[in-house]
Amino acid sequence: MNQVYLALGSNIRAEFNLPQAVRLLESCGRILRKSSIWQSQPVGDEYQADFLNAAVLWETACDAQQIWDEVIPGIEARLLRVRDPLNKNGPRTIDIDLVLYNREQLQIAHRIVPDPEISSRIFLAVPLAELSPEYLVPGLGRPVSEIAAELQADNNGVFFRRDDVQL
């Protein structure tokens, strides 16, 4: 079985779409851990609602290619994700990213795993650190908790926890 860390984000009906994405993931694997929900400002397109973000540790027999080609697009389609070719950072019902896969470094199509943005995106690092604080990010050799702490220290309170939504 593969240990997969997925990042989830939504700013359209997030209270419904985030937990629904988790339920759909359980149809082809087992959720071992779920982070809290975190709220963050949008990146790239600031004229939209804030995002709710989370991460899950998911155990599955699916390989990384299947996850990228079938599982993620299938769940995003079921949750009516629309991709705007003119605005890749636009609003979305759900965004699922494969950020860590076992303890491997991979390239799947244009996707690099571990996600290179873990060290610069607080909305990735903080939920991952909540799941597995001592996980050493392959290629960086640093625990995800250390990365998250650095990003939180530089953030000046822009990023805060949402306790009213559950995965």
Report the CATH number at residue 119.
Answer: 3.30.70.560
Q: Which of 89, 82, 12 is nearest to 49 (CA)?
A: 12
Note whether residue 27 is domain-resident.
yes
Question: For the whole model, what pTM was predicted?
Answer: 0.92
- CB neighbours of residue 117 within 10 Å: 15
Q: Which of 53-62, 74-83, 137-146, 157-166 has the lowest mean pLDDT?
A: 157-166
Note whether residue 167 is domain-resident.
no
Note whether residue 92 is domain-resident.
yes
What's the CA gap between 52 and 130, in Å, rounded?
Answer: 15
Note whether residue 132 is domain-resident.
yes
Residue 75: the pLDDT is 98
Structural domain span for residue 66: 2-162
Which phi and psi angles does 163 have, rounded to 5°?
-100, -5
What's the CA gap between 124 and 147, in Å, rounded?
Answer: 10
Note whether residue 7 is domain-resident.
yes
Domains in the chain, number: 1
Q: What is the torsion angle, in degrees rounded to the nearest 10, for the CA atoms of residue 128, residue 140, residue 64 and residue 36?
A: 0
